[in-house]
Amino acid sequence: MRTYTIFWLLLFVYIHFNIANAQPLASDTAGNIDKIFSGWNESTPGGVIQLTRDGQTIYRKAFGMADLEHNAKNTTETIFEAGSVSKQFTAAAVLLLVEQGKIKFTDNLLTYFPDFPAFGKDITIEHLFHHTSGLRDWGSVAEIGGWPRGTRVYTPAHVKEIIWRQTTTNFKPGSAYSYSNSNYSMLVFLVEKVSGQSFQSFTTEYLFKPMGMTQTRWRDNYRQVVPGRALAYSRNMNIYTLNMPFENTFGHGGLLTSTEDLSKWNNRWKTASLGAKLNQLQKEKGVLNNGVSIAYARGVSVNTINGFEEISHSGSTAGYRSWLAFYSENNLSVTYLSNDGSRNPVEAGKKIAEIFLGKETEKKWETPLFIPVQKSWAEPKAGIYKKLNGFDTQELIWKDSALRISNNKQALKAISPNSFYLENIRFDFPSNAGNPASVRLTNPAGDTSTYLRVNSFTPDKKTLTLYTGTYLSEEADVTVKIILKDGKLQISRDAGILIPLMPVYLNYFETDDQDHLLFKKNETTITGIEWSISRAYNVWFKKIN
C-alpha cells in the first residue's frame, strides 16, 4: 500500500513539474531566436524576450546590460518600461466600466467633462479608443511650444491643461485615424471620474492583482527608486547615452513591468481570465464615418500575419522599447522588453513570429510594361504638389531625362503619358494636356491621396519682411518671433536658438525638422500662422504686432 502511495505521489510531482515548466524549444529554434539579438552583449544595453505557448513558457532569455555604468546585466526578472503597450491596460480599465453600465461608447466628452472645450460634444468615448477623435497629441503641441517631451517634467495636470487649451481638432471626429496620446490620457481621466478611484489603484485592484502581475506598476513618480529596473539608453554614432523618461504621466504609456507579467496578461486572450466579453470588446476594430474599418481596435491592433490573427502593440518611450503580440490560432505569446532605444521592436517581433508561423508570402506585384519617357509630356508635370487633406508636399523635378522626386532623386517610370510608377506607388495625372493641376497617388493597398499643384515661391527680401513679427499661441502657450537674418526667415523661440524657414509655396514654409508653417493673411496684412507637425495640425499663432 505504501509503495503505491509513493508511486502516485511521485507521478503527481512529475506531471505537475512538467506542466508548470514546459519543455524548452528545440536547440535550432532557440538558436534562431538568439541570432536575432546577437548584437547585444556586455558592452550594450539589451532586453528580455519571453515566449509562451498554451500558457507555458517555451523561451525566456535576457541579453545585454541593465546598467552600463555599474556593469549590471539584464536578467529575466528585470523591470522595463512598456511604452504604448500600456494603452491596452487603459482600454481594459474603461471596458470594465462599460461592462458595468457606467460608461457608454456613444457618450461624448461633455457628458463627463462639462468644462471641456465645446468641440468635445462631437467626440465620443469610442473615438478615443480608436484614435479617431482628432484630438491633437499633447506632446506634439508641447513640442511646438518649445518643450518637447523629455525636456521638462510633465504631470497629468499639465496634460489636462494642454488638451483643454485646444480650440479645435486635427480633423472631424470619426473621419480619419491619427495616433494621439491625448486619447488615452482622456481615458485615464475618465476612469478616475467614473470610478472615484485613482487610475493607479483602480488598475491595481481590477487588473494587476487578479492577473497575478506582482511586478507591474505605473511610473507616476520618475524619482522613485524601482529595484531591478534597467536604465534606458539611446545610441548615436555607436555611443550609448542615458535616455530616461523624466515625466510623471501614465496611461498612454508609463507601465513598469516584466516579461513574466506581460506574458500572464497576454495569455488572457486564451484563458479569458478577465472575461470573454472584455476580450471580444477589446478586439473590435474601429470604423470610420465612411464605413471603412481600421486595424486599431481598443488599445491593440488586430492584423493578419501569414494567415494567422495577430493581436499586438508596440511601445517606445525615451530609450525603452517593447512589443507584445498574441497569435490566437497558435496560442503563442511573444513578449519583448528592451532598454536599447536603437532597436526596432516591431521588426524583432516579426522575425520571431516568422520562426513559428513561417515567412509571410510577399504579395506579387506584376511589373507593368514601362515605356520610354518623353520630355514633351513628362517635363510639364514637374512642380510642387500639396496634399488635398493635409500639409504634406511632393516636389517633382525634371532631371537627367527623367521625372524624379526631388528629395531622393528617384526616377518615375511611365506606363503612359499620364501614369507613372515609383517602385509600387502609382502616380496618375489628369488626362488633359498641358500643366496638370493635380496628381493622385495610389499605394498597393489601394489607398489614394490627391495632391494639388501649387506654385513655387522664391520671395525677395522685401517680401520676406512682411512675415516678420511676434506671434502668440494660446494653444501652445508660447510666443515666438519671426525675424529676417542671413537672407532667410528664422524662428526665434529659445534664447540664442534660430530655426531657419524655407519657402515652399505662397505663404507656406518648412523647417529642416519638417515643421509646417502656413502664414494666413487678410487683404493687406499677415494675421497669423497655422503651425503643423505630426499629430498636431494647424495650431494657431496670432500676430500681435
Predicted local distance difference test score (pLDDT) of residue 338: 98
Residues 221 and 269 in one domain: yes
Considering 454, 482, 508, which residue would you say is the last residue of a domain? 454
| Average pLDDT rounded to a whole number, residues 223-240 | 96
* Whether pLDDT at 12 is above 50: no
Domain total in the chain: 3
Residues 483 and 345 in one domain: no
* Whether pLDDT at 510 is above 90: yes
d(CA 67, CA 274): 36
Q: Which residues pair with 324 in a beta bridge?
A: 313, 335
| Average pLDDT rounded to a whole number, residues 178-183 | 97
- CA angle, residues 154, 159, 162, in degrees to nearest 5: 115
Long-range contacts of 12-19 (CB under 8 A, 24+ apart): 19/56
d(CA 140, CA 535): 6
20 in a domain, yes or no?
no
Joined grid coordinates for residue 120: 468635445
**Cβ atoms 256, 269 nearer than 8 A:** no
Q: Assign residue 277 the CATH number of its domain.
A: 3.40.710.10
Q: Where are the beta strands (DSSP E) in 424-477?
A: 425-428, 438-442, 448-454, 469-473
Residues 251 and 392 in one domain: no
Q: Which residues pair with 497 in a beta bridge?
A: 494
361 Cβ neighbours under 8 A, 6+ residues apart? 306
61 in a domain, yes or no?
no
- CA angle, residues 305, 311, 314, in degrees to nearest 5: 95
* Whether pLDDT at 168 is above 80: yes
* Whether pLDDT at 246 is above 80: yes
DSSP state of 124: B
Q: Assign residue 410 the CATH number of its domain.
A: 2.40.128
Considering 454, 488, 508, which residue would you say is the last residue of a domain? 454
Considering 422, 454, 486, which residue would you say is the last residue of a domain? 454
Residue in this structure with the C-alpha cell 506654385, named with its chain if needed: 455
| Average pLDDT rounded to a whole number, residues 526-531 | 97
Predicted local distance difference test score (pLDDT) of residue 523: 87
252 Cβ neighbours under 8 A, 6+ residues apart? 84, 86, 87, 90, 181, 182, 183, 184, 185, 188
Computed over every residue of the chain, the mean pLDDT equals: 93
| Average pLDDT rounded to a whole number, residues 51-63 | 97
Residues 237 and 295 in one domain: yes
d(CA 122, CA 133): 9
Predicted local distance difference test score (pLDDT) of residue 366: 78
* Whether pLDDT at 524 is above 90: no
Predicted local distance difference test score (pLDDT) of residue 388: 87
Residues 384 and 282 in one domain: no
Residues 341 and 399 in one domain: no
Predicted local distance difference test score (pLDDT) of residue 504: 94
Predicted local distance difference test score (pLDDT) of residue 16: 40
Indicate the pLDDT class of residue 23, thresholds 50, 70 and 90. low
369 in a domain, yes or no?
no
**Cβ atoms 332, 120 nearer than 8 A:** no
Joined grid coordinates for residue 84: 504604448
Q: Please report, in angstroms and rounded to a whole number, the separation of the first and last CA atoms in the chain.
A: 99
25 in a domain, yes or no?
no
pLDDT digits (tens, 9 = 90+) for 430-469: 987 568 999 999 998 788 999 999 999 999 999 999 999 9
Predicted local distance difference test score (pLDDT) of residue 15: 36
SS3 39: coil
* Whether pLDDT at 385 is above 50: yes
Residues 304 and 384 in one domain: no
Q: Which residues pair with 328 in a beta bridge?
A: none
**Burial state string for 13-43 with b = 16 or more CB within 10 A and e = fewer than 16:** eeeeeeeeeeeebeeeebeebeebbeebeee
234 Cβ neighbours under 8 A, 6+ residues apart? 240, 241, 243, 318, 319, 341, 342
Residues 229 and 111 in one domain: yes
d(CA 105, CA 298): 11
d(CA 491, CA 217): 41
Q: Which domain holds residue 111?
A: 81-135+170-357
Lowest mean pLDDT of 134-143, 237-246, 329-338, 360-369, name the range.
360-369
Q: Assign residue 481 the CATH number of its domain.
A: 2.40.128.50
What is the pTM for the complete model shown? 0.91
Predicted local distance difference test score (pLDDT) of residue 27: 80
Phi, psi (deg, nearest 5) at residue 40? -85, 135
Torsion from C-alpha of 320, 326, 330, 335, nearest 10 degrees: 20
Instruction: From 197, 247, 270, select the one nearest 83 (Cα to Cα).
Output: 247
Instruction: State percent of the chain over pLDDT 70.
Output: 94
Residue 368's CB is within 10 A of a number of other CB atoms, namely 15
54 in a domain, yes or no?
no
d(CA 259, CA 361): 30
Residues 229 and 96 in one domain: yes
Instruction: State percent of the chain over pLDDT 90.
Output: 86
Predicted local distance difference test score (pLDDT) of residue 62: 98
17 in a domain, yes or no?
no
Lowest mean pLDDT of 233-237, 313-317, 444-448, name the range.
444-448
Residues 301 and 410 in one domain: no
Residue type, 29: T
CA 319 from centroid of its chain's CA atoms: 15
Predicted local distance difference test score (pLDDT) of residue 26: 78
| Average pLDDT rounded to a whole number, residues 308-326 | 98
Q: Where are the beta strands (DSSP E) in 128-263?
A: 217-218, 233-236, 239-242, 255-257
Indicate the pLDDT class of residue 24, thresholds 50, 70 and 90. low
365 in a domain, yes or no?
no
pLDDT digits (tens, 9 = 90+) for 289-300: 999 999 999 999
Residues 396 and 466 in one domain: no
| Average pLDDT rounded to a whole number, residues 174-197 | 97
Residues 413 and 351 in one domain: no
471 in a domain, yes or no?
yes
d(CA 83, CA 177): 20
**Cβ atoms 420, 412 nearer than 8 A:** yes
